[in-house]
Amino acid sequence: MRTAITDDGVTDEKSSEMLIALQTIQSEQSNFEQAIQVYYDRFKALSPETSSLLIELKDRFETMSMMVDDLISDIDSDSEITMDTIDNLDEIWTEMDLASSIRTWQEQVLTQIDLRETFYMNVQPQSGQVAYNRVEAFIQAHDYVQAFQNAFDDGIFTPEELSKISQIAANAEASLFNTGDPQLFGYARAIDRLTRIIVRGDWAYAGNEIELLRLSLPARPQP
């Protein structure tokens, strides 16, 4: 930004370069803020600590965005842009320390993901809920698909929903493996993979995966 400053102020050429740079920043800010909102909406119930930091980051981005908007407006209107304006922008950018805050948030997110995966993927089958025949095993597989779909449809997984899904998954996987039928083992692996996907927050794959599992299952048996 400082390269646009001369002893006499901002040159037309450098002003244009500055405008392009600011518009790029503005676009990146907007994209990041949208990503922040999507993550917050989906994971605020699961990761309150990281979600709180996200809101703080969003507030900082909004402050910076207003400053960028003002500077772009000054450039567009040919208003005088002084060294003080640039210094003020640099100072506030430094004080906000967004890069450090983003790194901190990313580290917290990765930690939360690992903790969630360790916890939910180690849920054990419930005593008395493990089937030993194909009919009951398929019923449990269908129960899993329904529970997963119900939670997935609203775009938010709460801790209660993840606990329920993980437990149904553990029961269904054990039941499918206990049949001893290798043809059913693939369903058990698919359930495990789906549960891991949603626990880790890989939403881009969840919708397709649950639909593939649903279509691959035979019709729900009558108990």
Each domain of the chain, given as residue ranges in start order, spans 2-118, 123-216
**Reported pTM:** 0.65
Residue 7 has pLDDT above 90, yes or no: no
In this prediction, residue 222 carries a pLDDT of 79
Q: In which residue are the tokens 């597989």 written?
A: 141
**Can you tell me the distance from the alpha carbon of 195 to that of 110, in angstroms, rounded to the nearest whole number?**
17
What confidence category does residue 186 fall into, taking pLDDT thresholds of 50, 70 and 90?
A: very high
Instruction: List 10's β-bridge partners, or say none.
Output: 5
Rounded (to 5) percent helix, strand, coil in the chain: 80, 0, 20
**Can you tell me the distance from the alpha carbon of 153 to that of 151, in angstroms, rounded to the nearest whole number?**
6
Average pLDDT, the chain: 77
**Averaging pLDDT over each range in 19-23, 91-95, 184-188, 207-211, which range is the top one?**
184-188
**Can you tell me the distance from the alpha carbon of 73 to that of 21, in angstroms, rounded to the nearest whole number?**
14
Going by C-alpha positions, the residue among 106, 19, 30 that lies closest to residue 66 is 30
Least confident of 22-31, 173-182, 192-201, 214-223: 22-31
Q: 74 near 133, Cβ under 8 Å?
A: no
Residue 25 has pLDDT above 70, yes or no: no
